[in-house]
Amino acid sequence: MHNSKSQPVTAVDVLKTWFPLALSWLMMGIELPLLSAVVARLANPEINLGAYGGVVFPLSLLIEAPIIMLLTASTKLSRDLASYKKLWRFMMIAGGGLSALHLFVAVTPVFDWLVGGLLGVEGDILEASRLGMIIMTPWTWAIAHRRFNQGVLIRFGHSRAVTWGTLTRLVAVVSVLSICYVLAKGSSLPELGIIAATAAVSAGVVIEALYIAWKVRPVVRDILPTARSNEPPLNRKRFISFYIPLALSPLLGLAAQPMLTAGISRMPSPTESLAILPAVNGFTFLFRSISLAFLEVVVALVERPDGYVALRRFAWQAALSVFCLQLLIVASPLANGWFGTVSGLDTNLAKLASQAVWAALTLAAFGFGSSFFQGLLVHSHNTRSVTESVAMFLVVIVAGLAVGAHGDWLAGAIFAYIIYSLGQAAQFGWLYHRSRPDRQALGQAE
């Protein structure tokens, strides 16, 4: 990619850049249904599924939120060796500090105050969540390292390596889950489900980070030293003004996850609703994941001739296609079969999951549009508008959950997904509004 900046972007270029990244995200999307399917077949499935999907995973995501956008930042800013070294130093400090924070939350009374007090989680789910958080300690640093190096690979046209890295992660996850499943035959350990889920995820991200670090070495050694950038040198002021708003976006967005847990805990059918979260989140993420991959594609290609037009056309075609595909599955017996047979939920939980997933139909389609608009804003360094859009999303979430927690409306999971979808629609609308000047400028330049 670094030697073809002057070449016009075609639909094939967009597809060649997006497909390996989408495949990588799709493999990550398989991870959660896989975890749910195994944990659902071990002891105390409702407790362990609720602990992982309702507490451990969303809380771990919230702690790592400040480094999530390292992938986008690295794709945009790792243009030469000097910039790479500055970003690497930031990644190491931020990743190490957030990992220490994760462990502090897991092993101190802060956990009881946060999960037991604020989120309202009690009893066996609380204790299983504590154990899971401790096992998940390597997660944040591994994610920081992996996403930073993935951005460099995407920047210089090696997006296929990202796919192979995710495959190594999936192999590690499957291996750990298989071992735990075999051990379960001779064990009645009630926490084996949460141990299996968190150990598998931790092993997977560490293996993936090591693989990506190995694959990026030739780029750092052979390409970055001779790369030249047309942008001003990356200094602390430029990086902070670019990255801080970008980092706040997932931090605010992921704050919605524990808020959903807190809201569901105060709505009808709280235990059942928390238990289906991993299965429903896993199903919807299979579709949403391919839209998340589009953000880095926009950042990498929009600056090239004809990039804007090709990316815009791809975004709307992909959004319509993924919506229709998801609708066909949800409206057919396949949905109930997925949650009952594949995910291993009992009849009542599978029925609830099949109902809740209707409220999440628009997430993937809006995801393509949001990724497209965010990519335009990142290209113009207008990352503050991205943060504003997430704030809009969060306002809708807070208001909606407040209403749901004070009324006997619907089962918690169904109501929560309705609110989540409305919040994403509000975010999409704000991104559309704020990216208008960028769309006009890029459209005129084509």
pTM as predicted: 0.75
d(CA 51, CA 133): 10
Residue 109 Cα to chain centre, angstroms: 28
Token digits of residue 309: 């037009």
Q: Is the model more confident about 55 or about 320? A: 320
CA 81/CA 221 separation, integer angstroms: 9
pLDDT at 6: 61
**Per-residue pLDDT, 168:** 94
pLDDT the model gives residue 313: 93
pLDDT at position 10 is 84
pLDDT of residue 42 exceeding 60? yes
pLDDT at 300: 83
**Tens digit of pLDDT for each residue in 354-382?**
888 898 888 889 999 999 999 999 888 88
Tokens of 227: 């790369």
Of 3-12, 143-152, 235-244, where does mean pLDDT reach its minimum? 3-12
Residue 1 has a pLDDT of 41
| Residue 419 to residue 80: CA distance in whole angstroms | 43
More confident residue, 116 or 324: 324
Which residue in the block uniquely carries the two structure tokens 């130093």? 89
117 pLDDT higher than 50: yes
In angstroms, the CA 148 to CA 151 distance is 5
pLDDT of residue 416: 85
pLDDT at 3 over 60: no
Q: What is the pLDDT of residue 112?
A: 87
- Higher-confidence residue: 186 or 29? 29
Residue burial 131-152, b: 16+ Cβ < 10 Å; e: rest: bbbbbbbbbbbbbbbbbbbbbb
Q: Which pLDDT score is estimated for 274?
A: 78
Q: How many CA atoms lie within 13 A of 165 on its CB side?
A: 30
The percent of residues in the chain predicted with pLDDT above 70, rounded, is: 96
pLDDT over threshold 90, residue 344: no
Query: What is the Cα–Cα distance from 389 to 387, expressed in whole angstroms?
Result: 5
Annotate 429-443 with DSSP letters as a single string.
HHHHHHTHHHHHHHH
Residue 419 CA: distances (Å) to CA of 32, 170, 303: 22, 31, 36
The yes-or-no verdict on residue 25 having pLDDT over 50 is yes
Predicted confidence at residue 144, as pLDDT, reads: 94
Max avg pLDDT among 52-66, 72-86, 314-328: 314-328
* Per-residue confidence (pLDDT) for residue 2, from 0 to 100: 44
